[in-house]
């Protein structure tokens, strides 16, 4: 590969891993969800320092599973939810699909998480049941302040950690600071299972509920104690047991093929996270004095991509493209300016999120980059980029 072709993301699955996968498939093992899925869930929970994890077919499904399980499990005092304006469509869309009333929160100018003052105003005015936060590009939100506000106003906290796998706050993994947290294993994320996602939680009731909802709403996957209790409550005999549905569930299952890859990928995750963290420092070294820099108080940053702001975004994007460097909008801008939101609720203009929407972009970071290639990206970017800062 030409050293001056720099992709936004590169595959984390090696040729060796694909050969191992081929050998495993040829051994005529179970490909559907089975023992390897359970093993991957066990290993992932241990890595995260969580009690439980539930593997699903995407990070988007992980968010859907969290939302629906909290609703079905009676965890919520109402159906109001606060969602960051700077997030992803499937951070927000499950709540819209499930009939929640969503409120968009503006962004913090430093870490691009939720703005604390705006968040408290929403809490005071709307009394929501739930807050989902996004750890944007691997950076931690102001977690102490957020958790204090959630406790003060009786709001349940969950995390979309899909961009932050391996990042830590006060030596605790992001994604484990609330009731539950979601992650994605799609191509281009920290590790990949081709398609895939997972939810982590310490709540045993929620864990078993998610196991049921993931697979149609039956009790086949839940612990024996929960299965026995459910069967007894509804007087289910052994003949009907496997085809009794306790919740109106989905089919969000992943496969043992994906789990096989995940087990191998976990072995590389610490090394990948360390490279991404070091790459962030290289970007700051070459760009930090002249352009807006995303910063947070993460105790370890498993960096996803380098976000910044420019006045002439289209010119910068074209210049980078000509020089073999991929770029894109910073996540996807503000949810309040996306067509799917506008069609239902009208335009939601928020001061910081709007600036990110119109001026934000991000530059590549992945484990196959080194300082030389990052310097090339930064030098090429700086040839035409006009800095933009928050007012």
For each of the domains in the chain, give its residue range(s) and CATH number, in order of start. Answer: 15-259 (3.40.640.10), 270-382 (3.90.1150.10)
pLDDT in tens, 172-202: 999 999 999 999 999 989 999 999 999 999 9
Over residues 314-342, mean pLDDT: 97
Q: Is the pLDDT of residue 290 over 70?
A: yes
Tokens of 389: 């800062």
For the segment 5-57, what is each residue's pLDDT rounded down to a tens digit?
A: 899 999 999 999 999 999 999 998 999 999 999 999 999 999 999 999 999 99
Across residues 150-161, what is the average pLDDT? Answer: 98
| 242 in Cβ contact with 217 (< 8 Å) | no
Report the pLDDT value the prediction gives residue 306, as an integer from 0 to 100.
98
3-state SS class at 168: strand
- Terminal-to-terminal C-alpha distance of the chain: 41
Residue 391: pLDDT band (50, 70, 90) is confident
Q: Which pLDDT belongs to residue 28?
A: 87
* pLDDT of amino acid 1: 40
- The answer to whether the CB of 234 falls within 8 A of the CB of 244 is yes
DSSP letters spanning 189-203: SSS--SS-EEEEES-
* Cβ burial 188-219 (10 Å sphere, 16+ → b, else e): bbbbbbbbbbbbbbebeebbbbbbbbbbbbbb
Specify whether the CB–CB gap between 325 and 379 falls below 8 A: no
Task: Check residues 1 and 323 and name the one with the higher pLDDT.
Answer: 323
Percent of the chain beyond pLDDT 90? 97
Give the model confidence (pLDDT) of 233-265 as tens digits. Answer: 999 999 999 999 999 999 999 999 999 999 999
Grade residue 3 by pLDDT with cuts at 50, 70 and 90.
low
Q: How far apart are CA 250 and CA 273, in angstroms?
A: 33
Grouping H, G, I as helix, E, B as strand and the rest as coil, residue 118 is: helix
194: which 2 tokens? 């081709």
- Which tokens in the block code for residue 318? 């074209």
Handedness of CA 150, 205, 60, 56 (dihedral sign): positive
Query: Could you give the maximum distance between any two Cα atoms of the chain, in Å?
Result: 72
Q: Measured between alpha carbons, how far is residue 307 from residues 197, 315, 319, 383 in Å?
A: 24, 17, 17, 17
As a whole number, mean pLDDT of residues 365-370 equals: 96
Paired tokens of 293: 């820099």
> What does pLDDT average to over the chain?
97
- CA–CA gap between residue 92 and residue 342 (Å, rounded): 13
| Mean per-residue pLDDT, 334-342 | 98
- The C-alpha atoms of residue 349 and residue 104 are separated, in whole angstroms, by 10
In the sheet with 328-329, reading across from the earlier edge strand, the strands are 306-309, 360-363, 328-329
Per residue in 106-149, pLDDT (tens digit) is 999 999 999 999 999 999 999 999 999 999 999 999 999 999 99
- Cα 183 to Cα 163: distance, rounded to the nearest angstrom: 8
Task: Report CA-CA distances (Å) from 251 to 64, 77, 88, 330.
Answer: 11, 27, 22, 31
Structure confidence by residue, pLDDT tens digits, 257-288: 999 999 999 999 999 999 999 999 999 999 99
pLDDT of residue 60: 98
Specify the pTM: 0.96
**What Å distances lie between residue 103 and 80, 119, 150, 301, 341, CA to CA?**
8, 10, 15, 28, 11
What is the pLDDT at residue 4? 67
CA separation for the pair 290, 83 (Å, rounded): 31
> Is the Cβ–Cβ distance between 391 and 309 less than 8 Å?
no
pLDDT of residue 35: 96
């Amino acid at each position: 590969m030409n050293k001056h072709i720099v992709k936004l993301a590169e595959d984390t699955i090696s040729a060796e891993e694909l050969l191992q996968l081929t050998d495993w498939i040829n051994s005529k093992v179970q490909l559907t969800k089975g023992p390897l899925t359970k093993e991957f869930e066990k290993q992932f929970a241990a890595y995260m320092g969580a009690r439980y994890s539930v593997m699903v077919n995407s990070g988007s499904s992980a968010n859907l599973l969290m939302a629906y399980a909290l609703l079905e499990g009676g965890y919520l005092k109402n159906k109001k939810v606060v969602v960051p304006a700077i997030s992803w469509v499937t951070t927000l869309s499950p709540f819209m699909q499930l009939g929640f009333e969503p409120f968009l929160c503006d962004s913090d100018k430093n870490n691009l998480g939720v703005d604390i003052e705006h968040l408290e105003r929403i809490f005071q005015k709307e009394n929501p049941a739930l807050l989902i936060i996004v750890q944007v590009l691997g950076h931690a939100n102001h977690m102490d302040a957020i958790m204090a506000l959630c406790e003060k106003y009786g709001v349940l906290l969950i995390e979309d950690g899909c961009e932050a796998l391996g990042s830590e706050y006060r030596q605790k993994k992001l994604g484990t600071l609330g009731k539950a947290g979601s992650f994605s294993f799609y191509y281009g994320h920290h590790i990949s299972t081709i398609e895939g996602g997972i939810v982590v939680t310490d709540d045993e009731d929620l864990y078993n509920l998610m196991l049921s909802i993931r697979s149609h709403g039956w009790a086949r996957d839940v612990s024996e104690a929960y299965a026995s209790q459910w069967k007894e409550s509804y007087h289910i005999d052994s003949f009907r047991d496997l085809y009794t549905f306790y919740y109106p569930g989905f089919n969000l299952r992943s496969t043992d093929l994906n789990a096989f890859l995940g087990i191998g990928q976990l072995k590389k995750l610490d090394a990948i996270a360390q490279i991404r963290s070091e790459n962030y420092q290289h970007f700051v070294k070459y760009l930090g004095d002249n352009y807006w820099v995303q910063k947070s108080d993460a105790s370890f940053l498993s960096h996803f991509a380098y976000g910044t702001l420019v006045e002439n975004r289209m010119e910068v994007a074209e210049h980078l493209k000509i020089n073999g460097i991929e770029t894109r909008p910073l996540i996807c801008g503000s949810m309040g300016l996306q067509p799917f939101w506008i069609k239902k609720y009208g335009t939601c203009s928020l001061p910081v999120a709007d600036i990110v929407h119109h001026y934000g972009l991000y530059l590549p970071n992945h484990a196959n980059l080194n300082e030389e290639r990052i310097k090339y990206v930064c030098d090429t970017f700086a040839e035409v980029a006009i800095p933009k800062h928050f007012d």
